[in-house]
Amino acid sequence: MNKPYQRNNNFRGKKDLHKINNFISAADVRVILDDGEQLGVMKKNEALDIAKGRGMDLVEIAPNNNPPVCKIVDYGKFKYQEQKKKNEAKKKQKVIETKELKIRPGTGEHDYQVKIRNAQKFLKEGNRVKFSLRFKGREMEHSNLGIDMLKRVKTDLGELIRVEMEPKIEGRQAFLVVAPK
């Protein structure tokens, strides 16, 4: 015969970072109510009785303190509010991308100017720009032309940039990485 489903308030999933109710291991805890009122230090069992009397959970919010700080709250609501705070912080953070522009030692003047305009646009958006210059065949013998081109890029972008990686050759490629000031 199947048992009906019962909600287990003491269940903790793997993602839960807080100990609740009987999972709290400390004997004495500092207790705070959901409205911020402090009840002080008391035995864990007393705190659990108060929480059950209010129909709420005892949640350990600062386990490293001595004694640990626990709050009497509705655990589902507490997790929801924490998730909202986390999502809000995620919205505010700025992710810096690295945009790559490929050029060649023989790139024509117009194409070069288009690459510089694109780099300026990326830098204004707050992104890093990586210029990669690939040598083919005998171009390797004149690698100084490639390095000169990357130095020209650096001078043309001038005041907009902070150089993160100076022009250098690795195998058949040369790189220059710049970021906005």
pLDDT tens-digit series, residues 112-135:
999 999 999 998 888 899 999 998
Sign for the CA dihedral angle at 65, 67, 68, 71 comes to negative
Same domain, 55 and 125: no
Please compute the mean of the pLDDT values over residues 4-21 and round it to a whole number. Answer: 58
Same domain, 56 and 106: no
Same domain, 108 and 163: yes
175 within a domain of the structure (yes/no):
yes
Same domain, 87 and 127: no
Same domain, 80 and 107: no
pLDDT surpasses 80 at 6: no
Domain interval for residue 151: 98-180
Task: Give the CATH number, domain containing residue 164.
Answer: 3.30.110.10
From CA 65, how far away is CA 61, in angstroms rounded?
10
Same domain, 129 and 153: yes
Domain boundary among 73, 91, 109: 91
Of the candidates 57, 39, 40, the one whose C-alpha atom is nearest the C-alpha of residue 48 is 57
Lookup: tokens for 77 = 């609501």
Lookup: tokens for 24 = 């709290």
Residue 35's pLDDT is what?
A: 84
Interval 53-100: pLDDT, tens: 888 888 888 888 888 899 998 888 888 988 898 888 888 777 778 889
Other CB atoms within 10 Å distance of the CB of residue 127: 17
Residue 5's pLDDT is what?
A: 41
Same domain, 83 and 102: no
Interval 27-66: pLDDT, tens: 888 998 888 888 888 898 888 988 888 888 888 888 888 8
pLDDT surpasses 80 at 175: yes
How far from each other are the two terminal CA atoms of the chain, in whole angstroms? 70
Spatial neighbors of 76 by CB under 8 A, at least 6 apart, are: none
What is the reported pTM?
Answer: 0.52
pLDDT surpasses 80 at 17: no
Domain boundary among 91, 123, 147: 91
Interval 132-172: pLDDT, tens: 999 888 888 888 888 888 888 888 888 888 888 888 888 88
157 within a domain of the structure (yes/no):
yes
Most confident of 18-27, 101-110, 137-146: 101-110
From CA 143, how far away is CA 155, in angstroms rounded?
19
Same domain, 114 and 160: yes
Same domain, 116 and 136: yes
Higher pLDDT, 121 or 10: 121
